[in-house]
Structure 1
Amino acid sequence: MSIIEDNASATVRTLTIDQKSDWVDLVNRAVETDFYHSWHYHALAKTGTPLLFVHQERDDFIALPLLKREISKTSYFDLHSVYGYSGPISNFTFANIPSKLRARFKNSFLNFLEAENIVSVFSKMHPFFEQEIVLEQFDGLHDNGKTVAIDLRNPIEIQRKKYRQTTLDSVKKCRKMGFQIKDCSAQEQIAAFTLLYQQNMHRINASEFYLFTEEYFTKLLNTDEYLAKLILVYDGDKIICGSIIMCNNGIIQGHLIATNSQYLRYSPAKFLVDEVSLLGRTIGMSYYHLGGGLGFKENSLFEWKLGFSDLTLDYKSWRYIANPIAYNDLVLQTGNSIDDKVDFFPLYRMSNQ
């Protein structure tokens, strides 16, 4: 790492998805990062135009990946993060980023927001990283509750002692019934998981955003930027549960999961989580991040995840209003109230129907 001087000259640039090698190089040089920051994951995004804002001083940098969206019938834009946990990255650990580098990043980013006519920025932060050290110099840090993780550095016996009794009973029952997991990559297995996943999404009336296609899953799994696996649970030759997991920087992300509705009473997803925790140890992972509740509330999904571990992490988002006058006008035009306390950002994109 180089030493940043007071008169350090900065290079400020915005990478697009066409600049793959530069994007990949920066992510590879970052100390605290996850697959959510990767070029490949952003290349699959459909809800905006991917960009990577970079403030660099010699070999040191702070960068922030985002998706840029037009605001309909205006000359304005806003920025939001990909599905998952992203936030800024740096060649320093967040705790060791020099204050002068953070301050100059802030100035560069504010200049970028003004030049690009950006009204607001929304970024979901990564629970494992202290990204708030970079973003607390702005307004807009928001507590979103907690997520749950399993510490894979513990022996499996210690891990299972933390299971809720109902969770442990379900795992044992699935094992007794002869369910098996397989690490899968064949196209017909990806197709089968896609069907299972889409059936789950229809069952819970999920929005169209979550109806990922076979093509999407195929691309998601095929990259050398991170280790992605499709793990399926079989009852004989029948697929009854599955999950796409991402392994990067010592962390397994339980990215997506689905269960055959006919097998819900057996809770094969609990069996899958237990088995993935074993797999994670064999490939050198330290944590298995299960995520939070639906809408990041401490609801039944969150309680389900707490059945595996008492390790919880604070989860935050960054909700920054770059142009307050334009933001307020846009909210009023939608018929929403600027004083609305609903947990939604930006308010002008919330339907009031």
Structure 2
Amino acid sequence: MQSILLQPGMPAWRETLARCHHDCHHTPGWYVAAERSERGSAAAVHVTDGSRDLLVPLVCRPLTNVSWDATSAYGYGGPVVSHGAPAGFADEALGAALALLRREGCVSWFIRMHPLLNADWRSRFGLVVEQGATVSIDLTKSPERLWQETQARHKRGINRARRAGVTARLDSDFATLPRFIRLYNETMTRLNASAYYFFDAQYYRTLVRSLGSDLLLFVAEEDDCVIGGALFTVSRESGIMQYHLAGWDWEYRHRQPSKTVIHAAREWGRLNRMSCLHLGGGLGSANDSLQEFKLGFSPDTHVYRTQRVVVDPERYVALSGGDKSTLDELDGYFPAYRRPGGRFGPALPSTLVARPSRQAKPEASDGGRGNADCLVEEV
């Protein structure tokens, strides 16, 4: 098999994705936007036997002058394989990918699996951990069925907002993006979120420029005032919409704009032949009020998994202070050398750490941000 690390500007990244069932979270544009917040450089490992492909996007984070580690970007990347690849191809190709990464100086690899596209993922490498559940809305259902599956409390909130004159729309030219950014930042500040939950203006500019029509901004308005909004991504190849970031005006929280926005987004997705709106799960994959909020729109859930692989055991142990037991403790804080207070500390600031549910396992050293949104239901 042939293995290569692709850079975002290489046509082979998109050409390979065109042969795979993929999501927006696998695209070079998504990964370029994540470089600043993840403090690394975007790449994708591509393995082919000439007729079949494996592609896994990643962010390369420096450790020493000769070593680095890899992680998935914010969202749900995970491996994708070309159409028609047999069941055993993916893991065989992953072995070739690991050999390449080790030669290039990679020490460890943390992979966030896609809850829909990697639902049946199995691997002999490292450890695959069930983190928790995510929620999705089946957009192939009729509008009547979707409304029937919406919980009563959400229906009441949407109907009250509608009677009060609240409307929701797609802002196709992103004219309200500055207002949305302010609302999002204010929302995160109210939640005492860590720095990892905040994005600079360059992040949003890169998303808009790189994703183009695959990025959607829905806003809720009352009397021409934007009172809330959310960013969504779409993949027309797979029909998957992803709920990304959301925020609302505290003074209008009684209008519950987030419910109105999601209701409008799912109707847009249904009319535009999307197959699924993936809302994600709880904060840090926990079974919390955020997950309950999302379950108010749909009973459909999926298992969210991560895979932790020690690529170079000798370097991993050395970076972890010589503690060989870390090689057998992959279900805890991973990678071990990025534990708070350790030699390398967290990869990113971490002042907001979610308490996992009994089913959830700790994620990587990323501040607990394992799901592709940060919305908590307004009161």
Q: TM-score range by the shorter chain?
A: 0.7 to 0.9
Instruction: Give the deviation of 1:142 after TM superposition.
Output: 0.6
2:152 to 144, 165, 169: 165
RMSD of the TM alignment (CA)? 2.4
Instruction: Evaluate the alpha carbon distance shift between residue 77 and residue 314 of structure 1 in structure 2; reply closer, same or farther with a 3 A threshold.
Output: same
Contact 2:4 2:100 in 1 (8 A): no
Instruction: Give the deviation of 1:23 after TM superposition.
Output: 1.2
Contact 2:30 2:211 in 1 (8 A): no
Report the secondary structure of 1:153's partner residue: coil
Asked which structure has the greater CA Rg, the reply is 1
Gapped regions of structure 2 (runs ≥ 5): 343-379
Instruction: Give the deviation of 1:301 after TM superposition.
Output: 0.5
**What's the TM-score, normalizing by structure 2?**
0.82
* Pair 1:252 & 2:244 matched: no
2:189 to 202, 205, 208: 202
Instruction: Evaluate the alpha carbon distance shift between residue 226 and residue 64 of structure 1 in structure 2; reply closer, same or farther with a 3 A threshold.
Output: farther
Aligned partner letter, 1:60: R
Contact 2:129 2:331 in 1 (8 A): no
1:38 to 7, 27, 36: 27
Report the secondary structure of 2:176's partner residue: helix
Aligned residues with identical type, % of pairs: 27
Counterpart of 1:53 in structure 2 is 45
Instruction: Give the deviation of 1:298 after TM superposition.
Output: 0.4
**Aligned length, in residue pairs:** 336
Instruction: Give the deviation of 1:297 after TM superposition.
Output: 0.5
Distance across 2 between alignment mates of 1:182 and 1:63: 35
Aligned partner letter, 1:62: L
Contact 2:242 2:277 in 1 (8 A): yes
Gapped regions of structure 1 (runs ≥ 5): 1-9
* Pair 1:300 & 2:292 matched: no
Contact 1:125 1:315 in 2 (8 A): yes
CA deviation string 1:84-141 (max 9, x = no partner): 0001111126xx5252x335413312321321222210011101113653x5121210
**What's the TM-score, normalizing by structure 1?**
0.88
Structure 2 counterparts to residues 47-196 of structure 1, below 5 A: 47=38, 48-71=40-63, 73=64, 75-92=66-83, 96-99=85-88, 101-102=89-90, 104-130=92-118, 133=121, 136-186=123-173, 188-196=175-183
Aligned partner letter, 1:52: A
Report the secondary structure of 2:18's partner residue: helix
Instruction: Evaluate the alpha carbon distance shift between residue 207 and residue 340 of structure 1 in structure 2; reply closer, same or farther with a 3 A threshold.
Output: farther
CA deviation string 1:39-70 (max 9, x = no partner): 11112122211111111122311111111111
Instruction: Evaluate the alpha carbon distance shift between residue 237 and residue 151 of structure 1 in structure 2; reply closer, same or farther with a 3 A threshold.
Output: same
Instruction: Evaluate the alpha carbon distance shift between residue 98 and residue 160 of structure 1 in structure 2; reply closer, same or farther with a 3 A threshold.
Output: closer
* Range with greater deviation from structure 2 (218-227 or 250-259): 218-227
Aligned partner letter, 2:245: L
Instruction: Give the deviation of 1:327 after TM superposition.
Output: 2.3
1:23 to 4, 10, 13: 13
Counterpart of 1:238 in structure 2 is 225
1:284 to 273, 279, 290: 273
Instruction: Give the deviation of 1:147 after TM superposition.
Output: 0.2
Instruction: Evaluate the alpha carbon distance shift between residue 308 and residue 113 of structure 1 in structure 2; reply closer, same or farther with a 3 A threshold.
Output: same
1:352 to 328, 334, 341: 341
Distance across 1 between alignment mates of 2:45 and 2:330: 31
Counterpart of 1:13 in structure 2 is 4
Deviation >6 Å, runs of 4+: 336-342
Distance across 1 between alignment mates of 2:175 and 2:263: 25
